[in-house]
A and B are shown apart, each in its own frame.
Chain A
């Protein structure tokens, strides 16, 4: 008022019916105490708070019941004294209709406060203007204050402007949404507190001036603020600026543009242009926190709409169920009033008609950001008709305060051309709904944008995950290949040694087995193939053995039958062939079994149960490394954008680096020793088994030799018509039986 503020205009905007008078008829009232208060641990942007009370605890009013988790988070306090009766998932006021962990308090109706005092008294200062900014911010954080205009960003984080110099503090009292009058009534009734909050904020930010933007449809609020300015002698620092009524002038970016002509860079924060913007309700909460030690446990909420009898504003304890508030306001479900009409379900909206969301149920609590409960009749706010086609009339573009091309965004969203939507700055859309409001085809444009934004965010997340997974996968493959190569080399050496040994022993098929051993594989995949091979071989063996028995029978029959004497030779040839076959199968099987055994043993080496296994440690190292990368990426981002989190991130980065080193060292230490020892184990085990098998094989081969010899003799006897044929045949059969016995032995030996 003392300064002439040059107002600027933002492009676009609309003038929906204000509908505010209904709820300014009476002053702010307190509803009766509800039977229970439900406090979701996530009422702000950032990480959910951690509960610090247990079921059954009695709490005092203002007692901390949940602590912030991390930097961007906010604590919770008991809105009244009582008992914690549950900590469980409850439906929370969010468009998704999801549940979230909530602390449920049963009030004892004593409303007895925990001890609290002003920050000035707590610090024992004489001059309260001397309180350092850090202490003020800490107090604001401890009192759980989060933006009360809508988004609920933790105020303490917003006030930590880091390297940016703030010249202007803006208090947002525009309240441009139709129907809502919470800020209006607050400014009318508690203007002094708001100005006091502005003083504290100026002290923290060391800003030169404060502008309070109020739409010109709130003359009473403006007058009250002016009076409070005079009362606190702040008319030189703080200006109440009357701005023209136009939706969405209360959008943070729009208000900044109106009051200063500056634009917040896309994706940036107001501090980058030297501005911090706070809601008037938040300012009052700050004043109460600093001057009285009162945490954020209640807020002003407008309850309005044609189904409400007592339209007006309430000073509501956080956690109060919406149904309780509706009852206190005399809500009449439209179906109940007239029996034959209006049976259609209506909407209950949390927030205003432009940006609020329709509640799935009324059993939801009021949270830090609940500025309005709107319960209109269907006649009052009719639902949209069926959308018609876009006629590209451009009315949406004329209405858009962000200078976007809503119709283009709509076409791209509809066609799922997300990259094009992004190119057309989809993410600069503030979801104000002005475009949907003016669209003559009644297209629910904002719904499309929300959907697309969600899809793009998801896409980004999956992309990131896939990237990380790919990196990890590639690292693993490389590691496996390296290990594989090492093992192959060792095995080859071993196989060569064994082959040499066998050659020395002049065994029957030394090259064969050596080759088999060399090709023995290690991975689990190959183990699977091996066992498949084994099965096949087993089948072949059984088949061959059956054939052998049959051939022998035939042979005997032929030998006994003089008519078939000419066939004896034939059968004997067949017999020899089958025996050969069995021999081969047996050798193959021995090799396959060995391979299978080795790979199982190897799979056992990378035992997942062992936390100190090199695999595990390696994974740990990898994870630590990935985290380090993310951390450094974030840091660079923060540095580029000049966020105030840089310092914090740097610390985190250092820690992460240390962790990576640790993990690396652990991995290297263990992997070298484990690898050696495990390989050694494998080889001894392997060799033992190899030896056993070799022994058997050798026996089998000897036996086969004997069978062959017996056969030879038999044949000779037959050729010469000797009478020893019978005896020889018997001997031959015995030898064959022995061979079968040995082969049978080989199988359990291989499987052992």
Chain B
């Protein structure tokens, strides 16, 4: 009688990487819906384009590396990378920006480092940073205006396609504008806060639809927490750090962007719950995660306030990616039966 001899344990829970990634993708749906609702079909088209690019480039690289393509595509990590990029890019960004960012993210930031699990930097944010640095104009001006801002109909699906794929100038100008964060930052030196908030960009409840988008991502993030796919550490510490910075340095609304805008505008919630929590490139120890999240929050505030770019999730996350291994080395938990946790990695240091 032939018997199987395998190493223990002989049983396995129901967690699967591919399922986790799919759950993450599902959790972005409220945010995607809100973006489409307020800003038109641009994001939807971006997302589809980005996912297609991500899967195609992943398949190509896997093929070139002689890996089983379908087995690795099924892990859904490329899907999530594409999805997050599609959500983060300006809704009316030209198609080639999306394609460039996504393929760079998958090929260079992920596969060239050895594929899933081996990338030190968040691939989506590497792609995003690349296009943000290379094409700052398109990346800061091609944000669609919400119907609340424009006060008119949303851009139609044909017009959206035209803007994205042909870059039709007159249409682009008609439907795009700066984001609230951008506008506040640049105009607050000229006007008072009260005057500013009278502008179209900030019409609606808070800032023309962005508040709802952020709340939708927040809801998705809470869902992930309940599903135990992410822990509270990174989002909470990041948002707390951001809020704290804003209260300490930016309490004067006539000089600095107010807290409400920081928290509920731009990519704050998307970043806090979906991007900063990317496990591969983040810190992994519980205390490390707190430091990591707080770091992102602080950098986010610094760059948003004093940097050249209106939003800064990508840079803040990448900067902390650098620090993650170091943070991990110094925040190991105290192992059972040890008096003190270990600090750092000194060669030859044994307990």
Query: Do A and B originate from a single complex?
Result: yes
> Does B117 lie within 8 Å of A389, measured CB to CB?
yes
Residue A439 at the chain B interface, CB threshold 8 Å:
yes
> Does B336 lie within 8 Å of A381, measured CB to CB?
no
Residues of B within 8 A of A727 (CB): none
Q: Mark A429-442, 1 if CB is under 8 A from B, else 0.
A: 00101001111111
Give A422 Cβ to nearest chain B Cβ, in Å. 6
Q: Which of A346, A356, A405 contacts B4 (CB 8 A)?
A: A346
Looking at chain A's contact residues, is the secondary structure mostly helix, strand, loop, or mixed? loop
Residues of B within 8 A of A359 (CB): 3, 5
Q: Mark A400-411, 1 if CB is under 8 A from B, else 0.
A: 011111011000
> Does A423 lie within 8 Å of B15, measured CB to CB?
no
> Does A425 lie within 8 Å of B11, measured CB to CB?
no
> Does A178 lie within 8 Å of B16, measured CB to CB?
no
Q: Mark A339-367, 1 if CB is under 8 A from B, else 0.
A: 00000111111010111111111100000
Residue B138 at the chain A interface, CB threshold 8 Å:
no
Given contacts A383-B4, A438-B15, contact A388 B338 (CB under 8 A): no
Q: Mark B330-341, 1 if CB is under 8 A from A, else 0.
A: 001111111000
> Does B15 lie within 8 Å of A428, measured CB to CB?
no
Q: Which of B8, B279, B337 contacts A394 (CB 8 A)?
A: B279
Residues of B within 8 A of A382 (CB): 12
Alpha-carbon distance A390/B282, docked complex (angstroms): 13
Residues of A within 8 A of B4 (CB): 344-347, 358, 383
Residues of A within 8 A of B7 (CB): 95, 357-358, 444, 446-447, 450
> Does B350 lie within 8 Å of A391, measured CB to CB?
no
> Does B285 lie within 8 Å of A405, measured CB to CB?
yes
Give B224 Cβ to nearest chain A Cβ, in Å. 12
Q: Mark B267-308, 1 if CB is under 8 A from A, else 0.
A: 000000000000110101110000000000000000000000
Q: Which residue of A lies closest to B74 (CB)?
A: A388
Residue A424 at the chain B interface, CB threshold 8 Å:
yes
Residue A419 at the chain B interface, CB threshold 8 Å:
yes
Residues of B within 8 A of A405 (CB): 284-285, 332-333
Q: Which of A355, A392, A402 contacts B279 (CB 8 A)?
A: A392
> Does B13 lie within 8 Å of A263, measured CB to CB?
no
Residue B226 at the chain A interface, CB threshold 8 Å:
no
Residue B115 at the chain A interface, CB threshold 8 Å:
yes
Within 8 A of A (CB), among B315-351: 328, 332-338, 342, 345-351
Residue A25 at the chain B interface, CB threshold 8 Å:
no
> Does B336 lie within 8 Å of A253, measured CB to CB?
yes
Give B19 Cβ to nearest chain A Cβ, in Å. 7
Q: Which residue of B lies closest to A264 (CB)?
A: B337
Alpha-carbon distance A345/B10, docked complex (angstroms): 14
Q: Which of A14, A395, A423 contacts B342 (CB 8 A)?
A: A423
Within 8 A of A (CB), among B1-47: 1-13, 15-17, 19-20
> Does B20 lie within 8 Å of A393, measured CB to CB?
yes
> Does B117 lie within 8 Å of A390, measured CB to CB?
yes
> Does B284 lie within 8 Å of A440, measured CB to CB?
no
Within 8 A of A (CB), among B106-141: 115-118
Alpha-carbon distance A266/B347, docked complex (angstroms): 20
Given contacts A268-B337, A397-B285, contact A391 B9 (CB under 8 A): no
Alpha-carbon distance A468/B228, docked complex (angstroms): 53
Residues of B within 8 A of A384 (CB): 6, 12
Looking at chain B's contact residues, is the secondary structure mostly helix, strand, loop, or mixed? loop
Residues of A within 8 A of B229 (CB): 393
> Does A437 lie within 8 Å of B13, measured CB to CB?
yes
Q: Which of A333, A354, A395, A407 contacts B8 (CB 8 A)?
A: A354
Residue B75 at the chain A interface, CB threshold 8 Å:
yes
Q: Which residue of B lies closest to A441 (CB)?
A: B17
Alpha-carbon distance A264/B334, docked complex (angstroms): 13
Residues of B within 8 A of A446 (CB): 7-9
> Does A428 lie within 8 Å of B280, measured CB to CB?
no
Residue B205 at the chain A interface, CB threshold 8 Å:
no
**How many residues from B make CB contacts under 8 Å with A?**
50
Q: Which of A266, A333, A390, A393 contacts B337 (CB 8 A)?
A: A266
> Does B12 lie within 8 Å of A442, measured CB to CB?
yes
Alpha-carbon distance A439/B231, docked complex (angstroms): 16
> Does A419 lie within 8 Å of B280, measured CB to CB?
no
Q: Which of A97, A265, A433, A441 contacts B9 (CB 8 A)?
A: A433
Alpha-carbon distance A395/B350, docked complex (angstroms): 26
Given contacts A16-B13, A438-B13, contact A391 B338 (CB under 8 A): no
Alpha-carbon distance A437/B14, docked complex (angstroms): 9
Residues of A within 8 A of B345 (CB): 420, 423
> Does B279 lie within 8 Å of A16, measured CB to CB?
no
Q: Which of A263, A354, A358, A440 contacts B336 (CB 8 A)?
A: A263
> Does A381 lie within 8 Å of B11, measured CB to CB?
yes
Alpha-carbon distance A510/B328, docked complex (angstroms): 80
Residues of A within 8 A of B280 (CB): 391-392
Q: Which of A11, A391, A408 contacts B116 (CB 8 A)?
A: A391
> Does B349 lie within 8 Å of A423, measured CB to CB?
yes
Alpha-carbon distance A437/B5, docked complex (angstroms): 18
Give B133 Cβ to nearest chain A Cβ, in Å. 27
> Does A394 lie within 8 Å of B231, measured CB to CB?
yes
Residues of B within 8 A of A398 (CB): 231
Closest CB pairs A-B (n = 4): A433-B9, A389-B117, A266-B337, A440-B15
Identify 9 residue pairs between A and B in the complex whose beta-carbon atoms are under 8 Å apart, listed by A's number. Answer: A267-B337, A361-B3, A388-B17, A388-B117, A404-B333, A408-B328, A423-B342, A428-B336, A436-B12
Q: Chain A residues in contact with chain B, CB under 8 A?
A: 10-11, 14, 16-17, 95, 97, 178, 253, 257, 263-268, 333, 344-349, 351, 353-362, 374, 376, 381-384, 386, 388-395, 397-398, 401-405, 407-408, 419-420, 422-425, 428, 431, 433, 436-442, 444, 446-447, 450
Known: A391-B117, A392-B282, A425-B338. 15 other contacts (CB 8 A): A16-B13, A266-B335, A353-B10, A360-B5, A391-B20, A391-B116, A392-B117, A397-B284, A401-B336, A408-B328, A423-B350, A428-B338, A433-B9, A438-B15, A446-B7
